[in-house]
Amino acid sequence: MADNLLDGLTVLDLGVMGAGPYCAKLMADAGAEVIHVERPGTGDPSRALGPFAPADREHRLSATHAFLNANKRSVTVDFTHPDGAAVLWDLIDRADILVENFRPGTLARHGVGAEQLLARRPALVQVSITNYGVSGPYRDYAATELTLQAMAGLLDGNGEQDREPLRYPGLIAQCMAGANASYAALVALRHARRTGKGQAVDVSIQESVASTFYSLYADYEYAGALQARGQKDLYHTADGLFMARWQNSRPWEEFALALDAPELAIDPALGPPLALTQNARQVADILDERLRSATRREWFARTRELSITAGMLQTLDEVLGCEHLAARRWWDTLTGPAGVKAPFPGLPYTVDGAQRHIDRRVPDLGADNDDVYGGLLGYAPERISALRATGAI
């Protein structure tokens, strides 16, 4: 059995909601030991977020929380309590990486700021994910997934130009920031391994998203052009929407014939370059009509065979039943309370040709308190009981 990529790495996840937990999730999935530190009583707010199964009337298993935090260990610490702060420091002593996404300055107010951390643990990599970074005039702005997507430039590209721009679904901005933070953390870890020097890593959700708009900046900076919102090159089929795009490495005629639109191959005005510029709308209208003769899956089979760049708009249920993912045995299985089972997204990569499959289980709040405090930290049972009694854990 090969080693997992991050075996032996210990990550302290002080994250809440999306960004911090997604960062630590990527590390857990790669083999790191991740200890999710939650507030006693309520825990990570994503535990209450849902969505919940219809039968789960007590709201015991939030899908959002489950996705982000399965297979982490859950401990509870109230670090605003002096005894809790001591516990947190003991945990920090065992960590290679600390990930947090509280509002800027929160940890520093409780004596766990960057300077204190580096004074005690010079090699620690300390990752702070915040809405707008730990500096600058928007540092303390109130934000949600919607307002962050807006400020980062995502909304501007989604929707119709003459209507209001649209939020993308899910917690996408937060997850992108988490992924960005996971890479930045390993940059700092590599430096710490070599030199013994840790550092603070400042990740802004806004900047994480805005860093990836490669061609949009160019449009404006080279030509003063701002792209419009709007949906392009999606065609109706017999059963839903489909997209196909010609690549100039292949003959245009091949593309036209593959999509049952021979007139595109015959009339030069409907071929490149005019098909891509002045007559693009006309070409799109022809394809939109032609593709109605077959289903998305039929078109996708044909374009795959002919190496034409294409894709079909799939529903969540279609993805859950996807033949490709089934053939790859991709889904993990989540086991919830009362033995409920559900498919769980697998790792989006293989290592040495094999996907690491994980038996997905979601820790109850504080489920690992005894194990971590008794085992990892070596606290005596009486000390753990005392901490419980004071509410520190």
Task: For the beta carbon of residue 41, count every other beta carbon within 10 angstroms.
Answer: 10
Task: Please say which residue, 85 or 210, places its beta carbon nearer to other proteins.
Answer: 210
Instruction: Please report how close the Cβ of residue 134 comes to other proteins at its closest, in angstroms.
Output: 8
Using only C-alpha atoms, what is the Rg of the chain? 25
Instruction: Please report how close the Cβ of residue 162 comes to other proteins at its closest, in angstroms.
Output: 9
Task: Please say which residue, 155 or 387, places its beta carbon nearer to other proteins.
Answer: 155
Q: Which two tokens stand for residue 37?
A: 């530190």
Burial letters 164-203, b for 16+ CB under 10 A, else e: eebbeeebbbbbbbbbbbbebbbebbeebeeeeebbbbbb
Instruction: Please report how close the Cβ of residue 286 comes to other proteins at its closest, in angstroms.
Output: 12
Instruction: Please report how close the Cβ of residue 59 comes to other proteins at its closest, in angstroms.
Output: 12
Is 362:67 a contact under the CB 8 Å cutoff? no
Instruction: Please report how close the Cβ of residue 37 comes to other proteins at its closest, in angstroms.
Output: 21
Residue type, 257: L
Task: Please say which residue, 318 or 370, places its beta carbon nearer to other proteins.
Answer: 318
Task: Please say which residue, 338 or 382, places its beta carbon nearer to other proteins.
Answer: 338
Angle at the Cα of 205 from the Cα atoms of 70 and 231, rounded to 5 degrees: 95
Q: What is the dihedral of CA 296, 298, 300, 305, to 10 degrees?
A: -170
| Strand-pair category, 97-100 with 10-13 | parallel
Task: Please say which residue, 2 or 119, places its beta carbon nearer to other proteins.
Answer: 2
Instruction: Please report how close the Cβ of residue 105 comes to other proteins at its closest, in angstroms.
Output: 15
Q: Please report which helix (H) or strand (E) contains residue 108, including its range.
A: helix 106-109
Task: Please say which residue, 196 or 378, places its beta carbon nearer to other proteins.
Answer: 196
Angle at the Cα of 181 from the Cα atoms of 179 and 184, rounded to 5 degrees: 115
- How many Å apart are CA 240 and CA 95, to the nearest integer? 49
255 half-sphere exposure, CB direction, 13 A CA radius: 20
Q: Any residues with CB less than 8 A from the CB of 70 and at least 6 apart, and which? A: 334, 344, 358, 360, 361, 362
361 half-sphere exposure, CB direction, 13 A CA radius: 11
Task: Please say which residue, 129 or 393, places its beta carbon nearer to other proteins.
Answer: 129
Task: Please say which residue, 235 or 373, places its beta carbon nearer to other proteins.
Answer: 235
Task: Please say which residue, 209 or 365, places its beta carbon nearer to other proteins.
Answer: 209
Strand partners, 235: 242
Instruction: Please report how close the Cβ of residue 326 comes to other proteins at its closest, in angstroms.
Output: 9
Strand partners, 129: 203
Instruction: Please report how close the Cβ of residue 94 comes to other proteins at its closest, in angstroms.
Output: 18
Instruction: Please report how close the Cβ of residue 393 comes to other proteins at its closest, in angstroms.
Output: 27
